[in-house]
Amino acid sequence: MSADASVVEVVYESDLKNVEAAEELVRRVLASLNFDEEEQHKIGMAVHESMINAIWHGNKSDPAKRVWLQFVVYDDRLEIKIRDQGAGFDVSNVPHPLEPENLLKISGRGIFLIRSFMDDFQVKNIPGKGTEVTLVKRRSPNTDLNQGGLHREHEGHNTPG
Amino acid sequence: MKATIRQVNAVTVVDLSGRITLGEGCTQLRELIRDLLSKGHKQLLLNLADVTYIDSSGIGELVSGFTAVSNQGGHLKLLNLTKKVHDLLQITKLLTVFDVSDDEAKAVASFDKGA
């Protein structure tokens, strides 16, 4: 990791209620980075879908398992990492929701929306540990951070409300 | 999510508000449509004007409702999409599936035409 990067990391329990908590954190971080309202919505939705994948599909809502949400802020981009403790998945096996035979399927649009809303999306399966997805959004260089306290390493822990 | 049901001529208008997301919102919408169908309401117009957030699961629930109603010979149409919901349906190509309107009177009238 670059010495210039700023990091925020929060650990969540595997409860769908924490998806909204993560969304609220995302809004605060993105506002501090001067992303406009539309970009905030798109990135927020990508995080929402990723958190649901981690809690619901990855950790199967197991209360003993955790989800890590990390923001790494570079001058030219924001990287958001979401890691679960699930068995992982092969993103190449996810059917494309725009194919005519998939258009009326109930599920299968989450990854597509994430790809649509972010500049880059990577999935890394970590054997024995879980799955980490990385969402990347470019940002204007040299955008000053507000007084959001993002210049130092920070770790928090969230408990379900 | 909250739902208020109105009857306008032969059309059941459902005013939805709040979040339609995985969990409570999706479950409520699924049960609502199932309940309406069981009572013979097959011409459904979902008013999404006050829906503040919908995710991929919520979109899936709309598709599920559309299919369920169509399979019973009815129609499910959408009214008053917010820009965010409209954009979501556009990028998922579901605007080619759903009949969408911003005018309730015209939307209600369109059911009479069997469209």
Q: What percent of chain B has pLDDT over 70?
A: 97
Q: SS3 sequence, chain B?
A: CEEEEEEECCEEEEEEEEEECCCHHHHHHHHHHHHHHHCCCCEEEEEEEEEEEECHHHHHHHHHHHHHHHHCCCEEEEECCCHHHHHHHHHCCHHHCCCEECCHHHHHHHHHCCC
Cβ-defined contact of B92 to A97 (cutoff 8 Å): yes
DSSP per position, A22-53 = HHHHHHHHHHHTT--HHHHHHHHHHHHHHHHI
Q: Which CATH class is domain B2-112?
A: alpha beta
Give residue-wise pLDDT tens across range A65-101. Answer: 999 999 999 999 999 999 999 988 888 888 999 999 9
Contact B63 A48 (CB under 8 A): no
Q: Is the pLDDT of residue A144 over 80?
A: no
What percent of chain A is modeled with pLDDT above 70? 85
The confidence score (pLDDT) of residue A156 equals 42
- Which pLDDT band, with edges at 50, 70 and 90, does A115 fall under? very high
Nearest CA in chain B to A114: B56
Name, in order, each residue with C-beta under 8 angstroms of A51's C-beta and a sequence gap of 6 or more: A12, A18, A19, A22, A67, A69, A82
Residue type, B10: A
d(CA B93, CA B97): 8
List CB contacts (< 8 A) between A49 and chain B.
55-56
User: Over the stretch B55-100, which tens digit does the pLDDT of each residue have?
Assistant: 999 999 999 999 999 999 999 999 999 999 999 999 999 999 999 9
Structural contact between residues A143 and A34, judged by C-beta atoms closer than 8 angstroms: yes
Q: How many percent of chain B have pLDDT more than 90?
A: 97
The answer for residues whose C-beta is within 8 angstroms of residue A85's C-beta and 6 or more apart is: A58, A59, A62, A65, A66, A67, A129, A130
Domain boundaries, chain B: 2-112
The pLDDT, as a whole number, for residue B17 is 97
How far does A14 lie from chain B, in Å, by closest CA? Answer: 14
One-letter amino acid of A138: R
- How many other CB atoms are found less than 10 A from the CB of residue B54? 26
Residue A91 is predicted with a pLDDT of 85
- Contact across the interface for A116 and B94, Cβ inside 8 Å: no
For the cut 50, the answer to whether the pLDDT of residue A157 exceeds it is no
- Confidence category of residue A102, pLDDT binned at 50, 70, 90: very high
Residue B92 and residue A98: Cβ atoms within 8 Å? yes
Check residue B114 and give its pLDDT. Answer: 55
Place of tokens 């629930």: B61
- Residue A151: band (very low, low, confident or very high) from pLDDT cuts 50, 70, 90: very low
CA distance A107 to A102: 9
pLDDT at A147: 44
CA distance A74 to B4: 46
Query: What is the spatial order of strands in the sheet that A155-157 belongs to?
Result: A120-126, A130-138, A77-83, A66-73, A6-13, A155-157
Is the CATH number of domain A6-157 3.30.565.10? Answer: yes
Interface of B with A (CB under 8 A): 21-23, 55-57, 59-61, 63-64, 66-67, 84, 88, 91-94, 96-97
Provide the pLDDT for residue A161: 34
Report the pLDDT value the prediction gives residue B112, as an integer from 0 to 100: 81
Indicate if the pLDDT at residue B115 is higher than 70.
no
pTM: 0.89
Whole-complex ipTM: 0.92
pLDDT at B107 over 70: yes
Q: What local confidence, expressed as pLDDT, does residue A128 receive?
A: 85
Task: Look at B91 and A113 and tell me if their CB atoms are within 8 Å.
Answer: yes
Structure tokens at B10: 């032969």
